[in-house]
Structure 1
Amino acid sequence: MTTNPQPSPPVDTGRAHPARVYDWLLGGKDNYPADEAVVEKLPPEARNAARQNREFMHRAAAWLATQGIDQFLDIGTGIPAEPNLHQIVQNVVPSARVVYTDNDPIVLRHAEALLVGSAEGATDYIQADVRDPEAIVRHARHVLDFDRPVALSLIALMHFITDEQDAHGIVRNLVGTLPSGSCLILSHAASDLFPELVELVVAEYAKGGIQLALHPRAEVERFFDGMDLVPPGLVTATRWPGSTPPPTPEPDAGIYTGVARIR
């Protein structure tokens, strides 16, 4: 089952958007000159970080599906790039239900065409901003059963929320709506792994009108306060193994990752 998204508002192609910048870094073509202007001066590590982050999402989602989690709320979905989260989890549990959320209208235009779930499961889409968690949860309740465990996926999203916007509080509010046994999947760009590159990356994003709030390890770990991190804990993207570890070790590109169970 797949439900239809709401009508999408016009896409602002003159302003860079994180989802389209990420698409470029992953080798996609759904981006515009404003997005390309952000990435053209980024170091090569930025593309590696995007790929490692995406591969972490694949491993984490697949692992949770093998652990019996069959409901996923993915916020900050990004432009579809197969395999998408629902394809990963429905390959393990065909009846899995997935709700996608993003605030870029172009994501929903592609979601309508590409994010088609299995016959047994369900996929749904909402255009919304993580800074409005109540609206997201209100919509998600139409598809997901919040009396059973839900996996909340926040992949490379919260470093676009400034300290003034209270990223930790937003995650705390979202987690607070989920029942015991639910899980948080989170990845976050680090400020302390490659400090010599942080200033450049933050500056190039800022030129495109995108604010970045990178954090050191201790601040990323705070997102998991009150939860139980599953082994190996909070680690860089290539160090989170899931059921199928990366085939060959490679240098990390500055992304912290973790999966935690909600008590």
Structure 2
Amino acid sequence: MTNSIKRLAPFLLMGFVVFVISACSNGNEGDQSADEASVWEQIQEEGKLVVATSGTLYPTSYYEEGSDTVTGYEVEVVREMGKRLDLEVEFEEMGFDGMLTSINSGKVDLAANDITNTEEREEKFTFSEPIKYSYGTAIVRKDDLSGIKSLDDLDGKKAAGASTTIYMEVARENGAEEVIYDNATNEQYLRDVSTGRTDIILNDYYLQTLALAAFPDLNITIHPDIEYYPNNQAVVMKKDSGELESKVNETLKEMKDDGTLKELSEKFFNGADVSVEPDLDIEE
């Protein structure tokens, strides 16, 4: 295990997924087009993008030890995007529950924090082109796989996580007993599985591999036979963002084509390229 992962272990947090009520849409199509244009024009006039992020989700958005500057995969993606758009980027740090509501209220222009693209969210918000592809896995005890062979065996098992995540929804649908944590670090999550206080953690594959690397001495592993829920994460903005959406997507495409996304991914995900879809036959 590298020293950098050891130092950052306390900041490892499970990826949360938030569902919020959509703001009312404007019924006048002409006025809406004018509003879309004015959003981008206002951003240009002010010379900055205001972006919601957490500052606590390694390796997406976090602080390195001894630094007072937020960094991480999506933070640096947005920084580079701002540079190419000739805009300053100002990060507003907040909890997951506030990010999407802050977009609709106009407090921020974008949110970047490993936010999963779902059909329900697409009805309420605009998502950029994906900047990360992943899928769900499960952390269980190494010695007995927590007595679990597949998701069908979760009935009565204790699943650790946050109540609003997609992954907890999967656990709930399969009969697991929820053990809810409030903004806990991965060390607490992982140690509780290791000691038997809980049985399983359902979450993002890449986040779980980094979590395991940070705590190699615990009696935990990624289940060898559980892969599910292929998904992608993107930069989020207000519904019908017009020219802002176009500028964001054009810039992200440039960054993907010239290898910048790959380079940033490999830096923050221990050599893995999360900007490409994994070639796996994963259960939907």
TM-score, reference length from structure 1: 0.31
TM-score, reference length from structure 2: 0.29
Q: Which has the larger radius of gyration?
A: 2
Q: Report which structure shows greater RCO (CA 8 Å, sep ≥6).
A: 2
